[in-house]
Structures are given as C-alpha cells and as structure tokens.
Amino acid sequence: METFLTILYGILAFTFGIPLISIVMGLFVGTMRAGYNLKETLVEAHQAEKTSYKMYALGQGWHVIRFTPQRMMIYTRQVRDVWIDHAATMRYMVLEQFAPIRWVVWLVTIGIQVVVRVQYIPTFLVVVCFLMAYIIALPLWVAASLLCIIVLSVINLLLMKMRRAAFRCPACYKEMSIPTYLCPTCQTEHTRLQPGIYGVFWHRCVTCKMHLPTLDLLGRKRLARVCSHCQHPLSTAIGEGPDVHIALVGSTSAGKTSYLMMALYELKHASTKNPRYKITLPDPVQEQDFETGLRRLKSGQGLSPTHDVAPQAMLLRIQPPHVWLPRLVYFYNPAGTTFDNSKQVSQQGYYRYSNGLLFLIDPLTIPSLCQRHRAEIESISMPPRRSNFQVARTYEHMMQALEAFAGFHRGKGYTQPIAVVVNKVDLLHLEDEIGLPAAHALMARDASVLSQEEAIHRLVREFLCAHKLDNMVRDIESHFASVRYFSCSAAGRTPLRTLDPLLWLLMRTNVVK
C-alpha cells in the first residue's frame, strides 16, 4: 500500500510539477529573452531611421517609443511560434510510442505551451518599465538640449556683436548669418552647422556620417566654407573680427590696380619694421596674384587693367598690437568702365558696407592740364593710356552708387572718409607742383603749415580748383565729413607716397593707430 501511494504521489508531483516548473522557467527565460529582445529592438530602431539626422532627443528618441512595443511583440510571437512548432513535432514523433512515453511528452509539450505564454508577462513588464523611464528621461533630455541650444546661440550672437564681426561675401557682397560649411571627407554642404535640432555640439554628415563640430572652439573654423548665396569660397579670416570696406574709384587709366599693389606692398614692408603689426593676405590665390603683379611692377612692366564691373574684394588681414581680434579689410577695385553708365554703377552693392573711399585721379584726364602740356604729352614715345571719361563724371557716378546703397540724409552728409588722390605725379613735372618740393616750399613760406601731409593736402586741393574742378571739390567737402587730398605715383620701380592715402584711411577707420 505504501509503495502504491509513493508511486501515486510521484506521478501527481510529476504531472503538476512540470507546469509549475514551466511557469517559473517561463518567467525567468522570458525576462532574459525580453532583455535581449529590447537590446535588439533598440539597435533596429536606430538603423530604421537612417534618413533622420536630427538630434537624438528630437528625432530617433521619439521613434524608439513608437517602434519598441511593436517590435518587442513581434520578437515574442516569433519565439512563441518556434517553440509551439517544436512541441507539435515532439507529439507527432511519439504517436506510435509506448503510452507512458506519450504521457511524458504530453506533459513536456504542456510545459512548453505554458512557457511560451508566460513569457508575455515579463516582456510586457520590461516594455512598460523601459517606456516609463524613457518617457520621463526623454523630455528632460529635450529640455536640457533646447536650453543648451538657446544659451549657445545667445553666446554666439553676443560674441559676434562684441567682435563687430560679420560674414560678408567678397564676391556677391551679400551678408549671411552663417556660411555654408563643407564636409572634409565628401564635400557635402552643411548650411546650418550651428547648435540646433540637428545636434548641440556636433552634426552628422548626411553622406558620409562624419561628425562635424558646430562651434569654432570645437574646430568648425578649420572646415572649408562657401558663401550661402553664390557658393564662392570664403577665407577663414572672414568673421574673425571687425571688417572694413574700402572702395577704389577712378577711370580706366587712373592706375587703381597699380596703386593698390604698391600701397599694400609698402604697408607690408612697413609692418616688417614694426613687427607689432601682423599683415597678411588670407586668400592664397590673391596672395599669389599679388606677388606676380608686384614682380611685374618692380621690373618696370605695367599691369593689365581690371575688367570686372562687379569685382571680387581683395582681403587684407591686419592684427594690431595688444588687440585680441584682427581686422579684415576689403578692397574693391572695379573696372574703370564701371562708371560709364548707371546700369553698371547699380552693380556696386559693396557700397552699402563702405567705410572709406579712395578716389584716384589720372592727371591726363584733366582737359586744362592736358592742354597746357600738350606738346610734352605728344613727345612721349609711349604715353600713358588716356581716358575720355572726365573726372567730374566719374565722381557723379560714384555718388550715385553711394546714394543708392548707403542712402543719403539731407543735412548730415556721409561719415565715410574719402581720400582724393592725384596719381602719376612723376609725369608732366607734377611732383614739382604738388609733390614734396612744392610742399617744402609751402612750409617754408607759411608757418601755419606744420606738416608735409598738410602741405600736400593744400597743394592738391588748390591744383584741382585751378583746373576747373572746384565744383567737384566743394561738392566733396559738402557731402563728406572727412576729406583729405594726396598726390602719389604708383608707376615705376620707385613709387612715391602710395602708402599715405591708404594709411590715412586705415587710421580714420580705426584699423591702425
């Protein structure tokens, strides 16, 4: 009897023990499997959003919330179906076997059925716990990210204001809030490489997946960049500090290009004597053109006239002593034919930023002077190019451009300084009339003239008035608060006083002291 009861108890324990063990195993295995499925789900969720490159908290993070419950149920059903198929296979294999064996297999298949259904419980709990924690953390992440974006954007804006810096294209003259940066690996354009919804500190390139810094402190300034409007390459010096825009004005034969070359050469040469100032041409192409043109001028050869009606600005970076930020000077040198008609004048958009004007006069375009020296001019075997475009008309078209882009307030005038320069004083004995000899003679007979610069200023003004340009002189002085007259010569191997007008403008615009 005791033996029978022992066997009976064993059968009952085996019969009811398998389902109970299956429930425990289902909970344990289901929990482990749920954790593994959650890991696989998150990996798949990130891979499914390949086209989204927004910041995680604003992009993929919310996709995970939608994707995780659906995918976890799919994984759980797949596991369930596999084990149910295994159970059915086991029952089929023992259909012809001894009854106790079929009974044992039947109990095992019941256990499998319990296991695959019980696993839904830990899967559900894992998903609920994960989503609760995720839904709490994600909005906090979003709030923290937005706060960082706002703070960094405000700091960037304040730094730009403090630096008085701006991104202005030297080719199309348009200003942009931020240039277009190029990925160093695939050259893909990034138009909004700054803290934003695509990343606080880094953006991911849509083509090569490279992470690009959004702040200059992290290395953004080392990336190549182009204008957002015309895709012209931009120098890394643009946006570093305050910029100054100086427009050159003159007829075709005024010698603007030669003057600019020699003036910059003398400025750079002067900086070698005063190493506190660091003067460079930040654009390597312009630096190479500058060196080529300088060699031609030093060898006595002339330069080809500028043909660009809307010129690309020549950039000059000046780092003054004891100053944190460098100054970037834009020089605009349009073709002399620019001032032939109003249509071409309307293309001079850089006048809206102009901080100074450099008005060059070719003395051979002054009719009364040419008449006085007609015999001498005709005797020159290779006379300089003449221009039929009169000085006064050039000035009128310059004023049209200035009024169109910078505006004009009646009674106030323009705050931009203007340097009026009579070039080519090495011709027609003009050096004796408005150059150093004449300046020294004026200082000798007039004690109120205290400097050579002031003497030349007076001499050049009187020279222009004497040659029937007195109306233009009065108009200049009535429209501009700061006017200075100069004489120079940029031709030949030994230029004369080409630095003086440029240095005066740079001092008036607070670039140098």
- Helix H, strand E, coil C: the string for 64-84 is HHHHHHHHHHHHHHHHHHHHH
Reported confidence tier of residue 382, pLDDT bands at 50, 70, 90: very low
Phi-psi region of 75 (alpha: psi -120 to 50; beta: other; left: phi over 0): alpha
Is the pLDDT at 236 greater than 60, yes or no? yes
Q: Dihedral, CA atoms, 249, 252, 256, 261, nearest 10 degrees? A: 150
d(CA 379, CA 370): 13
Is the pLDDT at 363 greater than 70, yes or no? yes
Q: Could you tell me the pTM of the whole model?
A: 0.76
Report which of 485, 423, 436 is spatially closest to residue 460, judged by C-alpha positions.
485
pLDDT tens-digit map of 254-309? 788 888 888 888 888 887 777 778 888 998 888 888 888 888 877 777 777 777 88
Tally DSSP H helices, then E strands, for the chain. 15, 14
- Of residues 27 and 104, which shows the higher confidence score? 104
Reported confidence tier of residue 449, pLDDT bands at 50, 70, 90: confident
Answer for the pair 505, 402: CB distance below 8 angstroms, yes or no: no
Is the pLDDT at 18 greater than 60, yes or no? no
Helix (H) or strand (E) holding 18: helix 2-48
d(CA 465, CA 441): 20
Kindly state the DSSP code that residue 221 receives in the 8-state scheme. Answer: G
d(CA 498, CA 486): 9
pLDDT at 278: 87
Instruction: Give the start-end residues of each E strand in 163-298.
Output: 167-168, 175-176, 180-182, 189-190, 202-204, 211-213, 225-226, 243-249, 278-280
Question: Average pLDDT for residues 490-505, to the nearest whole number?
Answer: 84
d(CA 314, CA 243): 12
149-158, 345-354, 380-389, 496-505 — most confident range: 496-505
Reported confidence tier of residue 96, pLDDT bands at 50, 70, 90: low
d(CA 78, CA 435): 97
